[in-house]
Amino acid sequence: MTRSRTAATFSPPVMEARRWLDGVTHPADRPLINVSQAAPVAPPPHALRAALADIVMQDSDAHLYGPVLGLPALRDEIAQQWTRAYGGSIDPGQVGITSGCNQAFAAVIAALCDQDDEVILPVPYYFNHRMWLDMSGVRTIPLTCGADMVPDAAAAASLITDRTRAIVLVSPNNPCGVEYPAATLRAFLDLARARGIALIVDETYRDFDSRTGAPHDLFSDPHWDDTLIQLYSFSKAYRLTGHRVGAVLTNPGLMAEIEKFLDTVAICPNQIGQRAALWGMQNLSQWLAGERDEILDRRAAITDHFPALAAQGWKLLGVGAYFAYLEHPFAVSSHDLARRLVTDAGILLLPGTMFMPEGDTAGESQLRIAFANIDRAGIATLFDRLAKVAV
């Protein structure tokens, strides 16, 4: 019997971890700390919800199908704001709106790849990237990162074959939190261009980068769209997670291929969500700056409190955006440890094994903490509980 597309990959990791909570009661004085998912838990700010209500009541078109590649005004706004932020020149025809960044990735892979093609993913990877490649019959070629969790273009060069279609980078990174240096991104662009493959850069967490100014200069290259494909999400910036709005930036030729995928899968992105994203871009830059400050403060809290864990043999492998990526000191697999942390410490987090190919033993000692939803006090409590873990 042949195997189906979905049978070629694993079950959704966040859902699996959530099932670990079934039947577990947490004592009142030690409530669960859930650092498993990188999704905002609060709704969009009040002003955006009020704008959403107006859109629902006043804008009849918001309830109908719209253009496959998205609302023209939102494509224009992204082109303008991105041109200002990154330098260079980005045209609205190089911007497409998708039903979230995950769908943007799926559409790009469908547009680039055939069965048995290869795509290079730095390890640890974002598991939904791996899952979509599996379901597409595309081979994931793992690229091991160095101790700093940054991938190396020279190492990637030796993995490229005549079946390679793309290299995928996520910066700031999920799961490691690391912000890739501009020179790294430039080296990958040069490599991809020289070898005639695409460079896909998922910048879902761009709004929470700790650096000021553009995080890279790739868009200032007048021919960026012959190689670079950038992905973006509106889920984090304006907490529009449930409205499913993302974006893809690429050349108009590939966009026409992507359009076939989007038309067939969703016909158009969520019309209300797109209008909300546009309203957010036009009205919430101050609010978003405040959100970024808060995330950067939580990141600082991670480094402030880490010495207590370091004293117990833990290592901080990476921190930034929404994530801290840790190495634990115990002679137990991170998968088993993560399950025990639910019952023994009231902590739900994801093990490193969920972010790498089966058999890669590095993941056994690694854990991801998605800290965006816990404040300084919560981070202190989390580390206090981790420091007391005895295995």
Q: Restricting to residues 30-89, which ones interact with ligand PLP according to CB under 6 A?
A: 38
Q: Which is nearer to ligand PLP, 356 or 389 (CB)?
A: 356
Q: Which range touches ligand PLP (CB under 6 A), out of 96-104, 107-115, 221-229, 283-291?
A: 96-104
Locate tokens 């991104």: which residue?
185
**For the chain, counts of helices (H) and of strands (E):** 12, 13
Q: Is residue 221 a contact point for ligand PLP (CB under 6 A)?
A: no
Q: Is residue 204 a contact point for ligand PLP (CB under 6 A)?
A: yes
- Output the smallest distance, CB 104 to ligand PLP, in A: 7
User: How big is the CA angle at 165 (ends 160 and 166), to the nearest 5 degrees?
Assistant: 85
Q: How many Å apart are CA 253 and CA 153, to the nearest integer?
A: 27
- Output the smallest distance, CB 98 to ligand PLP, in A: 8
Q: Which is nearer to ligand PLP, 305 or 368 (CB)?
A: 368
Q: Of 94, 164, 230, 233, which one interacts with ligand PLP (CB under 6 A)?
A: 233
- Output the smallest distance, CB 246 to ligand PLP, in A: 4
Q: With contact defined as beta carbons under 8 Å apart, do 112 and 254 qualify? A: yes
Give a three-class secondary structure readout of 71-135.
CHHHHHHHHHHHHHHHCCCCCHHHEEEECCHHHHHHHHHHHHCCCCCEEEEEECCCHHHHHHHHH
Q: Which is nearer to ligand PLP, 100 or 363 (CB)?
A: 100
Q: Which range touches ligand PLP (CB under 6 A), out of 44-52, 99-107, 158-166, 350-358?
A: 99-107
Q: Which residues contact 146 (CB under 8 A, 6 or more apart)?
A: 152
Q: Is residue 235 a contact point for ligand PLP (CB under 6 A)?
A: yes
Q: Which is nearer to ligand PLP, 126 or 325 (CB)?
A: 126
Burial of 73 (0-12, 13-18, 19+ CB in 10 A): middle
- Site size for ligand PLP (CB under 6 A): 13
Q: Restricting to residues 174-203, which ones interact with ligand PLP according to CB under 6 A?
A: 174, 202
Q: Is residue 258 a contact point for ligand PLP (CB under 6 A)?
A: no
Q: Is residue 100 a contact point for ligand PLP (CB under 6 A)?
A: yes
Cis peptide before 175 (omega within 30 of 0): yes
Q: How many Å apart are CA 111 and CA 254, to the nearest integer?
A: 7
Q: Is residue 126 a contact point for ligand PLP (CB under 6 A)?
A: yes
Strand, coil or helix: what is 240? coil
Q: Of 40, 122, 246, 352, which one interacts with ligand PLP (CB under 6 A)?
A: 246
Q: Which range touches ligand PLP (CB under 6 A), out of 98-106, 161-169, 269-277, 382-390?
A: 98-106
Q: How many Å apart are CA 144 and CA 125, to the nearest integer?
A: 10
Residues within the interface to ligand PLP (CB under 6 A)? 38, 100-102, 126, 170, 174, 202, 204, 233, 235, 241, 246
